[in-house]
Chain A
Amino acid sequence: MTLEIIGISVLWLFLFLYVIVASIDFGAGFFNAYSAFTNKQHILTNIIQRYLSPVWEVTNVFFVFFFVGIIGFFPQTAFYYGTTLLVPASLALILLAIRGSYYAFATYGARINHRGYIYMYGLSGLLLPASLSPVLAMSEGGFIKMNGSEPYLDYWALFTSPLMWSIVVLSITAVLYISAVFLTWYANKAGDVKATELIRKYALVWAGPAIVTATGIIFELRGHNPEHYSRILDLWWAFAISFLLFIGTVYLIWKKKNYGLAFILLVGQFFTAFFAYGVSHYPYLLYPYLTIYDGFTNESMAIALIIAFIAGLGLLLPSLYLLFRLFLFDKDYVKGKSDYHA
């Protein structure tokens, strides 16, 4: 295994973890706003405050980890993506600020529960995946172009591209689906029958759109990037496994059985699909300009980063375990029997 592969695998893994934890966070905010809209707010608000408030900063670090890590391992990405992503990434930052400030101002602080704020917070959960996911479309090539030696983003091509829009739709449906499956399990653990019933419905509603849009993207790619498409077909078995896992999740949720296992199957579904997609993207970071080989940092930096990563992981894994034990697996806390907020 080369250093380049180790580097990109580590980053891809953290991006995957971000996709999962952030989806839970984004979707929960949306469901919360939606139930405020239909006057069922109290059902979800509790769960959101008990689980999301303690962990959202940790969620955010996964994102920071990814973009700092990619500059570290592949500094040339700063040149191509840094220049072209100014506007979309800035918009994403504003949306992240809305979410961060909601936690700070509305849940920890003076409990400003203004409806407008709840709606903004909920909406930002849908707009964020919509503003971040086009980067995946850009990486397929054809949108970032060169003006002499300077890269620029062709907005017209991007906004008229069916591929870009399918990816955006997928990201939104996936966020809602992932979040609903997780929250079904969490609400059930909390013994909140009403909330479980409500979110279980959301999970079933969003399962279909999520799988349909995911499949749609593969066909969009056939026209947009045939090279990538044929590599995806080579990996058909991985996508087939992913699909079976999807069936498993939906079945369990439908039958109201073992929500914990349903969530684990869902993580498996996204893991296989995400990695199969990543492998088929290999070796390009940006079609056709940048591969992981010509964008790679020097050897001594790569080794230093990997050592730092392993040491950091040694520190993080036990801490994360402690965090989840306290807020995810502690029955009294989850059920809201104990409240020890400062």
Chain B
Amino acid sequence: MGFEDTALLSRILTMMTLSFHILYATIGVGVPLMILIAQWVGIKKKDDHYILLARRWARGFVITVAVGVVTGTAIGLQLSLLWPNFMQMAGNVIALPLFMEVFAFFFEAIFLGIYLYTWDRFEDQRKHLLLLIPVALGAAASSVFITMVNSFMNAPQGFDLVNGELINVSPLLAMLSPAVPTKVAHVMSTAFMTSAFVLASIAALRILQGSTHVYHKKALLMTMKLGLVFSIATALIGDFSGKYLAEYQPEKLAAAEWHFETEDEARLILFGVLDGQEPKYAIEIPYALSILAHGLPDAEVTGLNEFPEDEIPPLWIHYLFDTMVTIGMWLAFFSFVYVVAAWRKWPIITKRWFRWLTVATGPLALIAIEAGWWFTEVGRQPWILRGYMKTSEAATTSGQVDLMIILFAGLYFILGIGTIVVLSRMYKRNPVEKELAQRQKADKGGDPE
């Protein structure tokens, strides 16, 4: 088996693991904040529904976290198993945030265990709420640290490479690469946004299935409001990300936009097909690329023709970029309509087709997350460490990667199905109406369940 081949196989396995893990990781970062907000609102408003909402979310959350731990351990090890040459080099420069990520997760795991197993243990709900703060902080911190590692791969700094030797290593500089501010902000805001929409989908689905309890309406309105806030934040941060790319990774932005000639007053191209260097059937927005890249309609945007042919990312990332942006825009627009409609009491909100659109927000957000990560990873090619190490040089020489692909594909398939089956079974067996009735009975002097 040739050198190129193991690199390709290693990419496939890494892609599989990351694509699967990122769904759980995104929920893992975002949902603790949602639980925190629900429980806090419940305490503030003295509304048991919100507290129960937090509790039921927490039950589902722990299952996704457990699968996330498993897949996270897998990607952690696979980095060294599949990309030993990269890790050998990167370990010297970027090991610090990787190491800190473990501590952040450690912290999160400890308090998650405590939080889950101490419901109703405290007289004062606020004390229990306090235990959730380290969970949310640990989850956020671990995503910050791991995004720092990814940022370093995109905009490496903090070392000098002289005759193949790494010198003048500065772990802090490497950790705080120029990609960090936009990337970290983008990862966080999309995690919160996606989690809000996923939870909104569930509530909308329950209403569509005929549940009329006010509990679901409260849940839906709250999550749609949160979704709106974070999708607007995501759009703003996305704009900054465009400016970051224009400055530090112009080839990625140019490939995403099929922008070949360096020119000012550059147009933004949405979808379409490529004929040579000419996009066809595309939606074109004049000046928009110049604005996205530099904030001015007449700014000059670097084109792909400035780069050597073998350092240009594949051009199909255009579609990934478009998918991500279109979904993001749609979610911001839709949640805005939803919140206004709920506020003005427009009847449209109770229409079935509108409910179905609401159900679609969660899956759409998850698709956008996938498209975004595929875009950033494929868009960095051919580099694993931009400007320093190509992906093909980093891969393992082991001949068994193909077998491992089959093995892990089976594993992720089972874990994915298992998550869906277990979550739906858990909530079906114990619907909220039943739980509320039990709690009322318990309050009247019966035994708590």
Which residues of A pack against B, CB within 8 Å? 54-55, 57-58, 60-61, 63-65, 67-69, 71-76, 78-79, 81-87, 89-90, 93-94, 96-97, 100-101, 103-105, 108-110, 112, 150, 152, 297-298, 300-301, 304-305, 308-309, 312, 315-316, 319-320, 322-323, 326-327, 338, 340-342
Contacts and interface: CB of A to CB of B under 8 A. Distances in A.
Given A67-B76, A78-B80, A105-B418, A312 B63 contact: no
Contact of A301 (B80, B92, B101, B403): B92
Interface in B45-92: 55, 58-59, 62-63, 65-67, 69-70, 72-74, 76-77, 80-85, 87-92
Contact of B91 (A58, A65, A87, A297): A297
B117 A340 contact: yes
Contact of A75 (B77, B92, B121): B92
A308 B67 CA distance: 27
Contacts of B436: none
The 6 closest A-B pairs by CB, nearest first: A75-B91, A82-B84, A104-B66, A72-B95, A312-B103, A78-B87
Contacts of B58: 342
A298 B82 contact: no
B396 A300 contact: no
Given A83-B84, A86-B398, A320-B110, A69 B99 contact: yes
Interface residues of B, number: 78
Contacts of B397: 83, 150, 152
Given A112-B422, A342-B59, A100 B81 contact: no
A42 B25 CA distance: 35
A75 B89 contact: yes
B75 to A, nearest CB: 10
Interface in B374-427: 396-398, 400-401, 403-404, 407-408, 411, 414-415, 418-419, 421-423, 425-426
B113 interface: yes
A101 to B, nearest CB: 6
A342 B84 contact: no
Contacts of B59: 108, 342
Interface in B130-179: 134, 166, 169-172
Given A57-B65, A101-B66, A301-B95, 17 more contacts: A55-B113, A64-B76, A68-B95, A69-B102, A78-B88, A82-B80, A84-B398, A96-B73, A103-B66, A108-B59, A109-B423, A110-B422, A301-B171, A308-B96, A316-B107, A327-B113, A342-B59
Nearest to B64: A104
28 contacts: A54-B117, A57-B66, A60-B109, A61-B109, A64-B73, A72-B91, A72-B98, A78-B85, A79-B84, A83-B398, A86-B404, A94-B411, A97-B74, A100-B66, A100-B67, A104-B418, A105-B418, A110-B422, A112-B422, A315-B107, A316-B103, A316-B107, A316-B110, A322-B110, A326-B114, A326-B117, A342-B58, A342-B119
Contacts of A338: 121
B163 to A, nearest CB: 16
B129 interface: no
B116 interface: yes
A86 B107 contact: no
B371 interface: no
B112 interface: yes
Contact of B102 (A65, A73, A74): A65
Contact of A93 (B66, B74, B419): B74
A79 B10 CA distance: 15
A312 B100 contact: yes
Interface of B: 55, 58-59, 62-63, 65-67, 69-70, 72-74, 76-77, 80-85, 87-93, 95-96, 98-103, 105-107, 109-121, 134, 166, 169-172, 396-398, 400-401, 403-404, 407-408, 411, 414-415, 418-419, 421-423, 425-426, 429
A322 to B, nearest CB: 7
B186 to A, nearest CB: 24
A83 B82 CA distance: 7
Nearest to A341: B117
A222 to B, nearest CB: 32
Nearest to B101: A68
A67 B99 CA distance: 10
B81 A86 contact: yes
Nearest to B106: A61
B28 to A, nearest CB: 11
A62 B398 CA distance: 27
Contacts of A65: 102, 106
Given A63-B73, A64-B73, A78 B84 contact: yes
Given A82-B84, A105-B422, A340-B121, A71 B95 contact: yes
Contacts of B103: 308, 312, 315-316
A217 to B, nearest CB: 26
A286 B247 CA distance: 44
Contacts of A63: 73
Contact of B110 (A74, A150, A323): A323
A342 B91 contact: no
B69 A100 contact: yes
A71 B93 CA distance: 11
Contacts of A312: 100, 103, 106
A100 B95 contact: no
A341 B80 contact: no
Contacts of B429: 110
Contact of B408 (A74, A90, A96): A90
B156 to A, nearest CB: 15
B174 to A, nearest CB: 9
